Chain A
């Protein structure tokens, strides 16, 4: 910038091309000493003013100067090594002039000159024949030159005022000129800044392409309405700019992320901070693209936020690769879990191993913490979740969450609702154990119900790290894990049931074979007698040796055997009816005394056979009972005849009492003998078919071996119970409890 100290009018010798008449010039005080011509040129180049384009600001300025000085010709010229560049002319467009033709070829550097030349255009040497000023304005006699210099002292050019006559510049004129010079300098300055700006713009534009190819840029207003998108974002998302501008930024929302994810993002950027993260976005065609993005708030001058700038990088491929790798890992894990199902027969081991495999997916469960619960019943019959396997849990959780009732706590609530849940834990749920819930609630975890055919089997709990970002594939994976567990558990359960029923069937089959073998044996014995005696009689007839009493005896034996056979067949039929569920119970009211009288009569012959004494004790008994008369009678006769078979010269006591058990009335009956007794190890099987205590006892004592079996079945048909106690050598007692409902009229009488 030119620094003008004072102005003075000085006369000095004429320079080569004219007569210097005075020098009023502008006394300039340079900050630095003048530098060489080369430095001057360098400086000049920096301003980039020497080009062919016209410069309107300079032209306008010359016109203004011209107007200020009587409409004389005014030039603003710059000098490089070859040309005088007339950047502004008050009557003409800019042009350039070879420096050798210039009127001020040498003298423009001589600052502060003002000279007059007699006949500028024409001199003896015809020096200025090529100069348009000299040729176009032959009458010009006066030129004054006001140098344009930079702050560094380099003189770049001058404002030149031509006139036909001498101009004497007043102080005021010089002041005006001074201000014009300032404007020139200002223009130069502007020009230079413009250049710099253009240069940086150019640099920016050079950046734009790589930026556009690699980055996705979007701007929104403070409310999230899109105000700018770059081409790349349009290309990747499939939208046009028009489709995006003015829309809400949620147009890209893919649904992948939780609301909490966006919540923390907004918190950050509204707090005037940048947020960085990986987001899955939705394309126009419904596809997705992943970006690593930095979202920054754009401040407004008042300190608020005028909008947001998102600069993102497309990482779809990376995300795909990552998810592919993850998918493979998860698939392998699922296969592994399937295999474990076949490998472990123990449920506990199976669950522990499954948990271990599942928690080995590091990016899901960094801390490898989790548990498997199965549905169980507590002592009061309520359904609860019972922790069957756990890993890396604190003692506190292990202890307080060992049993979780359904409907309580996150786990119990989710399990009952069969909800897959990712718990961030801010909800209010009724807890079974406040302490435990606080501990768990403060940690992010998944709880996944284990469900088989809409029946809840259990619950899977996986703790994730605080910074964990949940994703679809892990959700999918955990659901699969729960399915594998459900399937395997159900499969194992079914297997167990199958094995059990197979065993039962096998046992039943053995029992049936045994029953058939016994039946065959039991039937053959009386048949042996029947056929044997029949043949004997036939032989008697053939031999003609007929003795009536012998034949009579033999026929009697045949008859007895036949009767025995009939008994046997009837009993077998009874049993099979009970087993087939076809034995009907006929409830009727009858007098118990009458029943006892009938029994007493019936057992008389049995008592006589083995010389036993029959004792009946029936003191406090109801008059009338309501149960199945025939069956009760058969039970009692069977028991007494059983006792009489195994007792000789002894006593058989029938006791009948009334008994009240929790408001229900029972007949308490016992049949007690003083017979051989039953060994302890045989007591368990005494009520099974053909299971007399000893095979040899059949020989010794007879019987079909079905009597007690029928007793037991009939007793339970009547809603009662039978049990036996016995001491070998002392005797046996059978106890029966049979419910009866006392008839109404009897109650009234009572």
Chain B
């Protein structure tokens, strides 16, 4: 069996935090880019799957699968939402669970409050 470290986090974004929902997609993408940069510090050519599931009226997820990967959305970028549950999941080959969890936790604040890009 291959070795891969994995970690997941789940957060709920309130109506006030979403600010109408329009800023959620850029925040998700900023988070993924930040996780990529963090992982590259120790593993410059990491391979795995880092994904963010946005569950509201509809569900969609964004993901990257290796260092410097382009972000891809499945199910389309999230529409305007009044309330969303966000599940972050990452699994990276050759890393330990703790390494992956640290990369998520270090950047999780980017998802807590959508920011302007």
Q: Do A and B interact with each other, yes or no?
A: no
